[in-house]
Amino acid sequence: MERKLASIQCIYSIDDIPGADNIQVATVKGWKLVVKKGEFEVGDNAIYCEIDSFLPIRGEFEFLRKSSYKKMGDQEGFRLRTIKLRGQVSQGLLLPISILLDKIYADQYKALKIGDDVSEALGILKYEPPIPAELSGVMKGGFPNFIPKTDEERIQNLTEVYPNFRKSNFYVTEKLDGSSATFYINNGVFGVCSRNIDLLESEGNSFWKVARQLKLEEKMKESEKNICLQGELIGEGIQGNPYKLKGQHVYFFNAFDIDEQRYLSLNEFAEIMEWFELETVPFVFNDYSIPETIDEFLSFAEGKSILNPNAEREGLVIRNHARTISFKVISNKFLLKQE
Ligand code: AMP
Ligand code: MN
């Protein structure tokens, strides 16, 4: 699922912020963001840019320079991140749709509807922090097309389906802040991938190093099936090692049956982890009924890490036992502390 960074959305509500005269808080899907008073009205359609949008340097975005200027490689731009204004958490940016007038054809402009992705028209990219050399590795090929990439939808984008979720039984794991790792065995070929590429085994590459430490090739070959395991690589040299671990470790969160093209259920996953003696991401709850509102969920996501109680946890990942629903709830407290 490709993330829509900037899309047409309807403004669901606009509310006052206690003690603030010139700004208000708008709700767009499950997101809240601060807007100037009078700039938008409830029911307006506007362009909503999510956090992590990397906006190009253009006159119309210059107002972001002081708060958001950032370099991504050689590229300069403005990166949207979570901020707090007058005690109100603010995530993302609303722009009037008219900003697109000189960027797309008139008939396209007239046909714009809610949900349309306009990131490309605005030159908006996803902000990605630099990747250290031990993690980047040497490419063997693109990410295998027989395995889904790891990704999780944010709860704020699930307002429409959220009420239906309340019927299911969920389990909750801690979301770890590291680097996504994929290991597969397919027709006798063992492979190791980072988030987006299949990696050649090379000296010093962290993903291959842990694969060898964990004897994953031997273990996965034992299963006599084409399978894939996915987890989060964390530890020294990765994302600032917030958990202060020694060495590097993988905590697993997915098992995928390549032949059947499906994720294993929680029970099947737990069995494999036990059999292979691998560690899973920390479990917060095994049986969990989700709260009524997304705002309640967001407060619940805040807390300390199970791996290190001195570290703020990144958030939670919520899944039903059959593993057909999966989404993330990132802690705003964590996001506010981010650079
Ligand atoms: P993000 O890190 O915001 O791109 O969120 C999606 C990523 O979270 C996935 O691609 C995984 O690499 C990672 N992740 C970390 N902890 C977990 C977990 N407990 N369950 C599932 N994914 C996780
Ligand atoms: Mn991550």
How many helices (H) and strands (E) in the chain?
10, 23
Structure tokens, 261: 């093209």
What confidence score (pLDDT) does residue 3 get? 84
Q: Which residues pair with 54 in a beta bridge?
A: 79, 125
Q: Whose CA is nearest to atom 4 of ligand 1?
A: 151
Residue-range domain boundaries for the chain:
6-126, 133-336
Residue 111 has which token pair? 């046909």
Q: Which fold has domain 6-126?
A: OB fold (Dihydrolipoamide Acetyltransferase, E2P) (2.40.50)
Residues 200-214, mean pLDDT to the nearest whole number: 96
- pLDDT computed for residue 189 by the predictor: 97
Quick one: which atom of ligand 1 is closest to the CA of 180? 12
pTM score, two decimals? 0.94
Question: Does pLDDT of 133 surpass 90?
Answer: no
**Distance of alpha carbon 214 from alpha carbon 339, whole angstroms:** 33
The pLDDT assigned to 254 comes to 98
Question: 3-state class of 11 per DSSP?
Answer: strand
| Residue whose C-alpha is closest to residue 158's, from 326, 332, 32 | 326
Residue 17 half-sphere exposure toward CB, CA atoms < 13 A: 21
Asked if pLDDT for residue 121 goes beyond 60, the answer is yes
Q: What is the rounded average pLDDT of the residues 9-30?
A: 97
pLDDT for res 339: 79
Q: For the structural domain made of 133-336, what CATH number should be given? A: 3.30.470.30
Coil/strand/helix, residue 90: strand
Beta-carbon contacts of residue 50 (< 8 Å; ≥ 6 apart): 3, 4, 5, 6, 31, 80, 91, 92
At residue 8, φ and ψ (nearest 5 deg) are -75, 130
d(CA 63, CA 66): 7
Q: 306-330 pLDDT, tens per residue?
A: 999 999 999 999 999 999 999 999 9
- What would the DSSP string read from start to end of 66-81? HHHEEEETTEEEEE--
pLDDT at residue 123, as a whole number: 97
CB atoms within 10 A of CB 23: 17
Structure tokens at 170: 């969920």
Mean pLDDT of 115-120: 97
135 and 179 in contact (C-beta within 8 Å)?
yes
Q: Quick one: pLDDT at residue 2?
A: 67
Q: Do residues 90 and 34 touch, judged by C-beta distance below 8 A?
A: yes
Average pLDDT in the 178-191 region?
Answer: 98
Q: Beta-strand (E) ranges in 131-278?
A: 139-142, 153-154, 170-175, 179-186, 189-193, 197-199, 227-235, 248-257, 262-263
Ligand 1 pocket residue status of 150, Cβ below 6 Å: yes
- Which atom number of ligand 1 is nearest to the Cα of residue 326? 21
Which of 176, 254, 316 to probe ligand 1 with, by most ligand atoms within 8 A of CB? 176
Q: Does residue 150 carry a pLDDT above 60?
A: yes
Q: Which two tokens stand for residue 133?
A: 């050399």
215-254 burial code (b ≥16 CB/10 A, e <16):
ebbebbeeeeebbbbbbbbbbebbbebbbeeeebbbbbbb
Average pLDDT, rounded, for the chain: 96
Contact indicator for 6, 97 with CB cutoff of 8 Å: no
pLDDT the model gives residue 58: 95
Please determine, for residue 1, whether its predicted confidence score (pLDDT) is greater than 60: no
Residue type, position 294, single letter: I
pLDDT value at 110 more than 70: yes
Please tell me if the CB atom of residue 175 comes closer than 6 angstroms to any atom of ligand 1.
yes
pLDDT band at 132 (very low <50, low <70, confident <90, very high): confident
Q: In the numeric block, which tokens belong to residue 215?
A: 């004897």
From ligand 2's centre to the CA of 177, what distance in Å?
5
Residue 130 has pLDDT above 90, yes or no: no
**Would you say the CB of residue 253 lies under 6 angstroms from ligand 1?**
yes
296 pLDDT tier (thresholds 50, 70, 90): very high
